[in-house]
Amino acid sequence: MLSNKLIFPPPEEADEDGVLCMGGDMSVKRLLLAYSSGIFPWYEGNVPIWWNPDPRFVLFPPELRISKSMKQVLKSDIFTITCNTAFLQVIRNCKVAIRKDQVGTWINEEVEYAYNQLHKLGYAISYEAWQNDILVGGFYGLKIGRVFFGESMFSHVSNASKAAFITAVEAMRKQDIQLIDCQVYTSHLESLGAKMISRNEFLDLTHILVNG
């Protein structure tokens, strides 16, 4: 169990399920240390659990795949995609969204507050999909160095979050983001080009791209 000291066990020591340790707080400094070390938080009840799974699900921006149908969606301007215009709304929509493969959501009030602080400091970023001036999809994550650490997404309209994600990846390529951490497998992101890499490869890349 972590204390209030800003320290984590070596990330390579995560168990076969990806769990590294439990406890600690959700301060800005701890979160930045965690992500920079390849670690991300999840909650079980009121206790944060810190993860570093093997393998790790990532997307290299040049490997983004856009289907013909999505190209048509993007071309049709069904959605207006923005960046950082509604961060609070995005995280709140992610907070209340219930996915098919889980009972609830990990975003509690402490998490919401922490990531809003990270947003104010310029680390946490959201992308939004709008339709008729209504927020219908989006996602958020942290940009540290040349890595974007994806956190959560939601969609109220078919293809909304996908359109936001594709637009974001194309923007990130121009910003020299070289790695997008998707954390764990989803078929949704696999269809866009995300793939598994080993924990060691992920940690090596993170070290270089965050600190280099």
pLDDT for 44: 75
pLDDT for 98: 54
pLDDT for 17: 94
Q: In this structure, is residue 2 part of a structural domain?
A: no
Half-sphere exposure of 51 (CA within 13 A, CB side): 20
Mean pLDDT in runs of 10 for the chain (212 residues)? 89 96 94 97 86 97 97 96 98 77 68 96 98 97 98 95 97 97 94 97 97 80
Range of the domain at 126: 57-211
The total number of structural domains that make up the chain: 2
pLDDT 10s digits, 169-189: 999 999 999 999 999 999 999
CATH number of the CATH domain containing 25:
3.30.70.3550
pTM above 0.75, yes or no: yes
Q: In this structure, is residue 3 part of a structural domain?
A: no
Q: Please indicate, yes or no, whether residues 91 and 171 belong to a single structural domain of this protein.
A: yes
pLDDT for 100: 45
Q: Please indicate, yes or no, whether residues 93 and 177 belong to a single structural domain of this protein.
A: yes
pLDDT for 104: 46
Residue-by-residue DSSP string for 91-137: HHHHHH---TTSSS-S--HHHHHHHHHHHHTT-EEEEEEEETTEEEE
In a 3-state reduction of DSSP, which class is residue 157? coil
Q: Please indicate, yes or no, whether residues 71 and 163 belong to a single structural domain of this protein.
A: yes
pLDDT for 63: 98
Q: Which of 184, 185, 195 is nearest to 52 (CA)?
A: 184
Q: Please indicate, yes or no, whether residues 19 and 97 belong to a single structural domain of this protein.
A: no
As beta bridge partners, residue 196 has 57
| Percent with pLDDT over 90 in the chain | 85
Work out the mean pLDDT of the chain and round it to a whole number: 93
